[in-house]
Chains A and B, each alone.
Chain A
Amino acid sequence: MVTTLSDLIDMIERSTVPLWLRDQILAKSDVIDQAMRNGGSITLQGPHGEEIQIRAANHLAPAA
């Protein structure tokens, strides 16, 4: 239940995250959690070729 304006704004913000990404974050929460704890990264792929990489701060990004 939305109780404060702050919660309402959080809810609005979350609604801009594409549904596929929200679903994948929920479905793969354990894998994401593990990757974050180990300082790793995980890439989530969307239905239209989108790719989002979630990376722990101490993980080195691959060289371009």
Chain B
Amino acid sequence: MLVVLFSLLLTLYLVIPEAIFRTIFGWFVPPRNFVLSKTETAYRAIGIAALPFTLALFGCWYLPGMKAFPFPVRDNSSQLRRTDYRTLTESLYSDTEFQRLRTQFWPAFARCSRRQARLIFWYALLIILEASLAGELAKHFARYKANLVYQWIADKLLFSYISEWHPLLTPYSYVDPNTTVQADILCTNGTLYQGRVSQHFLKDGQLTGIFLQEPKRFDREEYLKAKSEGGDPSRSDFWKTIPSDNLYFFADKIINMNLSYKAPEQLDSRIIAKLIAAVLKRPFLPGQITITQRKPPLR
């Protein structure tokens, strides 16, 4: 009986809160499809649950409002709480103990259930709050990414919940929302398409389809023909505009995709500084290195 109770508590305090967290988080940023082992799920759930659970427990024990709402317990004291849980554990341990403590068991059970229901109520609320905050932070990654504390939280918690397609197919990692994602898509029919990614669709974190705006098709046959005739044709002359505002591609018809990110005219000095630090294998503190774009490309 104790094992059943333990499984029930594990589900109520770890499995369900993790599922709530993932659902709420998914409202802000497309979530990743999870194929985790039971151990990984448990570790992740513990990480998510630790803070809300501690706060809920503290509140239910000490804070006036949370102590009695909802499901109040009359004359609730720490002494009574301990006695109730002892009665409950001993009764569930063996039938003999249950028979012995029968008269005390049911009142203790009722009080414990009310306490647990109150704790779970606040715990779930705090999980929702935590998930909303995490979702909001993950959504604005580009804005906060320079902050070291944020980077640590993002690496350890937020990113494990985000689908890898989100940063790949949206300007997620760029502060300037005008950054565009350009895609060259080779389809199973051997045709190469090009365009600006406008929408993409995920199912369980996996890509199911993608919309391209201003789509073009590469006329390979004409290009090869021109080449075989001995000329030196320019590839750009063989991109044919497709009269479509949004051209949809089914993900299972895509062989490969070449993605490029068209940033605004002004280069991002922080990204260049990061690249230099990676090449020199030497970290630079903020402000230690200055990058200035003295002249933009000539038109």
Closest to B141 in A: A9
**Which among B261, B292, B298 is the interface contact of A52 at CB below 8 angstroms?**
B292
Closest to A29 in B: B279
B137 to chain A, nearest CB (A): 14
Q: What CA separation (Å) do A52 and B269 show in the bound complex?
A: 10
- How many positions in chain B have a CB within 8 Å of any CB in the partner chain? 42
Q: What CA separation (Å) do A49 and B295 show in the bound complex?
A: 7
B residues in contact with A55, CB < 8 Å: 289-292
Q: Quick check: A33 and B292 within 8 Å, CB to CB?
A: no
> Is the contact region of chain B dominated by helix, strand, or loop, or is it mixed?
mixed
**With contact pairs A5-B167, A6-B155 given, residues A17 and B289 touching in the complex (Cβ less than 8 Å):** no
User: Restricting to A7-62, which residues have a CB under 8 Å from any CB of B?
Assistant: 8-10, 12-18, 21-22, 25-26, 29, 32-33, 36, 43, 46, 48-57
* B231 in the interface (beta carbon within 8 A): no
Q: Quick check: B164 and A8 within 8 Å, CB to CB?
A: yes
**With contact pairs A4-B159, A25-B279, A56-B288 given, residues A17 and B293 touching in the complex (Cβ less than 8 Å):** no
Q: What CA separation (Å) do A22 and B135 show in the bound complex?
A: 34
Q: Quick check: A52 and B164 within 8 Å, CB to CB?
A: no
**With contact pairs A16-B271, A26-B279, A32-B280 given, residues A46 and B297 touching in the complex (Cβ less than 8 Å):** yes
A40 to chain B, nearest CB (A): 12
**Which among B141, B172, B290 is the interface contact of A57 at CB below 8 angstroms?**
B290
Q: What are 26 A-B contacts defined by CB distance under 8 Å?
A: A4-B159, A5-B164, A5-B167, A8-B168, A9-B145, A9-B167, A9-B172, A12-B168, A14-B275, A15-B260, A16-B179, A16-B261, A16-B267, A21-B267, A25-B276, A36-B289, A48-B298, A49-B297, A50-B296, A51-B295, A52-B292, A52-B294, A53-B294, A56-B290, A57-B288, A57-B289
What residues make up the interface of A, taking CB atoms closer than 8 Å to B? 4-6, 8-10, 12-18, 21-22, 25-26, 29, 32-33, 36, 43, 46, 48-57
What residues make up the interface of B, taking CB atoms closer than 8 Å to A? 141, 145, 151, 154-155, 159-160, 162, 164, 167-168, 172-174, 179, 260-261, 263, 267-268, 271-272, 274-276, 278-280, 282, 284, 287-298
Please give me the 3 A-B residue pairs with the lowest Cβ-Cβ distance, nearest first. A5-B159, A49-B298, A51-B295
